[in-house]
């Protein structure tokens, strides 16, 4: 399986925000995910951006992401807004989840701007679990805030909309109230908001606050779209991997067996030691530090960033 998805729809969902719907080109199921997950999208300039999944996982055939046009510089969001069109294909990694929803009787969700995206499936989940929950949703202006109608129509009173031009900065202290042991606080948004929420939760019980930072966590160098070589050191063979095949399939074609199962980068079966080179990790399994170590990879989905990768096969 090659992890390329097709854009099936693109729509404006707020001022400066477009939502993309992604499907498998052959109509296959997409890898399962949990609320808080993001996917890594390889843009036409081969840079990688992380976008939170904000659709429904009860629909196994589509992913939905929402992308804010960033005002300054960073080209990725402009490419999504100006260049990508329905029918285009993009490379995708993950889903990965560094922001999982843990069990709780009560949730307080705080979203700043486009930070609403990972929280959208979380509020649906909190609702399903029958938990008590409230959402505080801030943004510059009402028109810039995505999914307002969807949220208020479905959840009414639980959703507190706070556009800055109408009500000023979020009053976190009074909204959060007194610390409660039965509550988890989830926050996603720009750095100043996270800093403010961290300060406001400083006297809450440990592990109460869970945050996701929108950092420049994308991989440093652009992803390659050229063929690369994989040396199988133990077998003494070299195979060329073209963009249309997975490393796993390329290795199998020269008769080297690698045990696999899910072929989606989720089960861990095809784990392969890396001797040299740096993999372009696309799995859902490894933590960031494990990825950075470059000592192993999942060849069912992951690829190479360099001309040559050496595997212990």
Q: Which residues bind to ligand FES, rule: CB under 6 A?
A: 260-263, 265-270, 298, 300
Are 6 and 25 in contact by the 8 Å Cβ rule? The answer is yes
Q: Please tell me whether residue 259 binds another protein under the rule CB under 8 A.
A: yes
Q: Please tell me whether residue 97 binds another protein under the rule CB under 8 A.
A: yes
Of 36 and 139, nearer to another protein (C-beta) is: 36
Pick the binder of another protein from 12, 102, 238, 292 (CB under 8 A).
102
Q: Give CA 123 to chain center in angstroms.
A: 17
Binding segment toward another protein, per CB under 8 A, in 63-71, 164-172, 223-231, 258-266: 258-266
Site string for another protein, 194-213 (x = CB under 8 A): -------------xx-----
Of 33 and 147, nearer to ligand FES (C-beta) is: 33
Site string for another protein, 36-75 (x = CB under 8 A): ---------------------xxxx---------------
Pick the binder of another protein from 219, 260, 302, 304 (CB under 8 A).
260
Angle of helix 148-155 relative to helix 116-128, nearest 10 degrees?
20
| Shortest distance (Å) from residue 279 CB to ligand FES | 13
CA distance 168 to 163: 7
| Shortest distance (Å) from residue 221 CB to ligand FES | 24
Interaction partner, residue 86 (ligand FES, another protein, none; CB < 5-8 Å by kind): none
Of 77 and 104, nearer to another protein (C-beta) is: 104
Site string for another protein, 155-184 (x = CB under 8 A): -----------------------------x
| Shortest distance (Å) from residue 2 CB to ligand FES | 13
In the numeric block, which tokens belong to residue 145? 């805030």
In the numeric block, which tokens belong to residue 258? 């690698």
Pick the binder of another protein from 128, 153, 178, 216 (CB under 8 A).
128
| Shortest distance (Å) from residue 266 CB to ligand FES | 6
Q: Please tell me whether residue 257 binds another protein under the rule CB under 8 A.
A: yes
Residues 6 or more apart in contact with residue 178 via CB below 8 angstroms: none
In the numeric block, which tokens belong to residue 224? 């390659």
Residues in the site for another protein, rule: CB under 8 A?
A: 29, 32, 34-35, 57-60, 97, 100-104, 125, 128-129, 184, 207-208, 252, 257-263, 267-269, 271, 285-286, 290, 296
């Amino acid at each position: 399986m090659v992890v390329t998805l097709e854009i099936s729809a693109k729509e404006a969902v707020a001022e400066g925000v477009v939502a993309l719907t992604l499907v498998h080109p052959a109509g296959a199921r997409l890898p399962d995910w949990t609320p808080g997950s993001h996917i890594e999208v390889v843009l036409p300039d081969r840079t990688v951006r992380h976008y939170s999944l904000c659709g429904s996982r009860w629909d196994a055939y589509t992913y939905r992401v929402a992308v804010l046009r960033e005002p300054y510089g960073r080209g990725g969001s402009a490419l999504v807004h100006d260049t990508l069109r329905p029918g285009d294909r993009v490379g995708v990694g993950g889903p990965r989840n560094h922001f999982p929803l843990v069990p709780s009787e009560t949730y307080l969700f705080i979203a700043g701007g486009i930070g609403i995206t990972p929280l959208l499936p979380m509020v649906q989940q909190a609702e399903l679990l029958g938990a008590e929950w409230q959402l505080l949703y801030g943004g510059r202006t009402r028109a810039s805030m995505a999914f307002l109608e969807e949220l208020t129509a479905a959840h009414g009173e639980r959703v507190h909309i706070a556009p800055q031009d109408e009500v000023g900065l979020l009053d976190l202290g009074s909204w959060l109230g007194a610390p409660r042991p039965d509550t988890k606080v989830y926050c996603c948004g720009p750095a100043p908001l996270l800093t403010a929420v961290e300060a406001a939760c400083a006297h809450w019980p440990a592990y109460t606050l869970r945050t996701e930072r929108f950092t420049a966590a994308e991989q440093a160098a652009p992803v390659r779209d050229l063929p690369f070589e994989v040396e199988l050191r133990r077998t003494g063979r070299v195979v060329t991997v073209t963009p249309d095949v997975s490393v796993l399939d390329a290795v199998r074609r020269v008769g080297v067996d690698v045990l696999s199962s899910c072929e989606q980068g989720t089960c861990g079966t095809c784990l392969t030691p890396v001797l040299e080179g740096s993999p372009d990790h696309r799995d859902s399994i490894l933590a960031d530090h494990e990825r950075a170590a470059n000592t192993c990879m999942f060849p069912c989905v992951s690829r190479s960033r360099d001309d040559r990768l050496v595997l212990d096969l």
